[in-house]
Amino acid sequence: LICADLSDGVKFPPGFLFGSATASYQVEGAWNVSDKGENTWDRLVHSNPDAIKNRDNGDVACDSYHNWRDDVKIASDLGLHFYRFSISWARLLPTGLPDRISEDGKNYYNNLIDGLLEKGIQPLITLYHWDLPQRLQDLGGWTNPLIVEWFADYARVAYTLYADRVKGWITINEPVIVCDFVYNSGIIAPPIKDPGFANYLCTKFLLLAHAKAWRIYDKEFKPKYNGKVGITNHLIWMEPFSNEYEELTENLRHYLAGLYSHPIYTKDGGWPPEIEKIIAENSKRQGYPRSRLPAFTQEEIDFIKGTYDFYGFNFYTSRLVRKARDGETLSNWPLENGCPELSAAMEVHPSWKKTESDWFWINPVGIRKMLGWLKKTYGDMEIFILENGLATKDYNLNDEDRIKYYRDHLEQIWLAITEDGVNVTRYTAWTLVDNFEWIFGYSVKFGLYEVDFEDPKRKRTPRASAKYYKEVIRTHSFDVANKNNYDEL
Ligand code: GBH
């Protein structure tokens, strides 16, 4: 009773949903089981093992392909309202194309979906979380305009198989990583470095692919199943280093968030005008006959505009923005340490605590400011927070710092809802289980549950943060009673 009273004042609105998330390549393993096709991450880790910390790879990962019952069980123990996972495109369609659907791939996701539903957990599917069939990559991947058809065909297969039971769909996870990080850095899959050019081809075709997949659902499936489809952006809150950089910072927001938002969520659609202008001018100065940012036709603008049922984003961290100094080289990590196109450099505030991941400092108020900016810039939309969580390292069940991270971010989200009137309706903790953290391998951990990677069964053990999150869900509040009152997991 006392707990209920204490948390009464800080409750999330009724109907607000709490979930957790994973991604296929990070958890499934079984990389060559049955007829699964090879994807871009399989190719990277096998052809260039040194690209990954400790030469780790996702060949086995959490072995969720075999251990999905464990994942369902812990999701249910936590009381999750929904579980976000992704489909491995090449597991479902071994050729990348819909000429052949894998029987085992199809059944794997059927089992997972039915297992979740039996426990009253809504499945939320990401169609693309970075593991492109290698065959399609060999044909240019996201820089080939035909990706629009390939992705749409794959989406239709997934909807046809699962939309009767799955009411939430995310087309693409973090386009800014898929396009800008990939082609500007060349250090993740596919390892192709073509900064300032290939990334923009990717951006255009990715937006068209998303739009086509959204329209297929809207036309062919929504009337029957009434689900929701959207894309999810990786957003970093950008704050001016000092007042003189207000305009530069706003431009950078329109670059990092705007290239993937303006075309979808504004009345006019198309590229954010100020960014389109800057890239066109830069291109001209550099001797290109046309902008490196490919133009849209009016038909394409209309095709992409309005293709959303919610605004989805993932949030971890913030940056301070200033003008790059003369001769300053912006790092190879263009999205997070600098942006050559705008001559913007990024720094962090000394008061933001550094985490165990080298791109990640903690600034909880950033998420409230981000939400406010989205509402101001794109209007009042339903917003899903689709990832948020803390990086730690080493095996450690007593993760007080992760509890604090979750608590402080939930508080800021609650303030955004109650004080700023932002319509956030879902929160997603990244991640359910420790997993393959891309180029950091298993050295960085984000899990509510610790996974024993020495154990062939990949045993999952709840951390203190799992107990905290369970209590958050049970009380619908971030200020849960002190930890001695947590239910045992
Ligand atoms: C999210 O991206 C991802 O959606 C999720 O899969 C990931 O596990 C989670 O963050 C935690 O990192 O990509 O390792 O080569 C967040 C944004 C963080 C993407 C840093 C790119 C650069 C290094 N990103 N990252 S890596």
Return the residue whose CA atom lies nearest to atom 6 of ligand 1.
23
On average, the pLDDT of the chain sits at: 96
Question: Which pLDDT band, with edges at 50, 70 and 90, does 1 fall under?
Answer: very low
Nearest to 427 by CA among 114, 21, 127: 21
Quote the DSSP letter at residue 97: S
What ipTM does this complex have?
Answer: 0.94
Sign of the CA dihedral with 93 first, then 95, 99, and 100 last: negative
42 lines ligand 1 (CB under 6 A): no
Q: What is the pLDDT of residues 265-306, one digit of tens each?
A: 999 999 999 999 999 999 999 999 999 999 999 999 999 999
> In the predicted model, is pLDDT for residue 5 greater than 70?
no
pLDDT score at 487 = 61
> In the predicted model, is pLDDT for residue 240 greater than 50?
yes
> In the predicted model, is pLDDT for residue 378 greater than 80?
yes
Q: What is the pLDDT of residues 407-466, one digit of tens each?
A: 999 999 999 999 999 999 999 999 999 999 999 999 999 999 999 999 999 999 999 999
How many whole angstroms separate alpha carbon 486 and alpha carbon 489? Answer: 9
Over residues 3-29, the mean pLDDT reads 86
309 lines ligand 1 (CB under 6 A): no
Over residues 203-207, the mean pLDDT reads 99
CA-atom Rg of the chain in angstroms: 21
Secondary structure, 3-state, 276-291: HHHHHHHHHHCCCCCC
177 lines ligand 1 (CB under 6 A): yes
Over residues 330-357, the mean pLDDT reads 88
How many whole angstroms separate alpha carbon 286 and alpha carbon 343? Answer: 15
Nearest 5 degrees, angle CA 128-CA 129-CA 130?
A: 100
Whole-number Å distance, alpha carbon 236 to ligand 1 midpoint, is: 12
> In the predicted model, is pLDDT for residue 358 greater than 90?
no
How many whole angstroms separate alpha carbon 334 and alpha carbon 272? Answer: 19
> In the predicted model, is pLDDT for residue 165 greater than 70?
yes
Specify the DSSP element, H or E, that contains 255.
helix 246-256
pLDDT score at 8 = 60
Whole-number Å distance, alpha carbon 18 to ligand 1 midpoint, is: 21
Question: Which pLDDT band, with edges at 50, 70 and 90, does 353 fall under?
Answer: very high
Question: Which pLDDT band, with edges at 50, 70 and 90, does 182 fall under?
Answer: very high
Question: Which pLDDT band, with edges at 50, 70 and 90, does 336 fall under?
Answer: confident
Question: 3-state DSSP call for residue 171?
Answer: strand
Sorted by sequence, the CB contacts under 8 Å of residue 42 that are 6+ apart come out as 31, 32, 58, 131, 134
Exposure class string for 343-360: b at 16+ Cβ within 10 A, else e: bbbbebeeebeebbbebb
> In the predicted model, is pLDDT for residue 334 greater than 70?
no
Whole-number Å distance, alpha carbon 302 to ligand 1 midpoint, is: 31
Over residues 113-122, the mean pLDDT reads 99
How many whole angstroms separate alpha carbon 171 and alpha carbon 196? Answer: 24
**Catalytic residue status for 387:** yes
Whole-number Å distance, alpha carbon 439 to ligand 1 midpoint, is: 9
Sorted by sequence, the CB contacts under 8 Å of residue 178 that are 6+ apart come out as 128, 130, 142, 172, 202, 206
pLDDT score at 4 = 47
> Counting atoms of ligand 1 from 1, which one is nearest the CA of 446?
11
> Counting atoms of ligand 1 from 1, which one is nearest the CA of 23?
6
Return the residue whose CA atom lies nearest to atom 23 of ligand 1.
439
Return the residue whose CA atom lies nearest to atom 15 of ligand 1.
439
Q: What is the pLDDT of residues 452-489, one digit of tens each?
A: 999 999 999 999 999 999 999 999 999 886 555 566 77
Per the CB < 8 A criterion, the answer to whether 113 and 86 are in contact is: no
Q: Of these residues, 38, 239, 336, 387, which one is catalytic? A: 387
- Cis-peptide into 190, omega within 30 deg: yes
439 lines ligand 1 (CB under 6 A): yes
93 phi and psi, to 5 degrees? -120, 90
Instruction: Give the other-Cβ count within 10 Å of 59's Cβ.
Output: 14
Least confident of 113-122, 136-145, 329-338, 367-376: 329-338
Return the residue whose CA atom lies nearest to atom 18 of ligand 1.
359
Whose tokens are 């730690």? That residue is 392
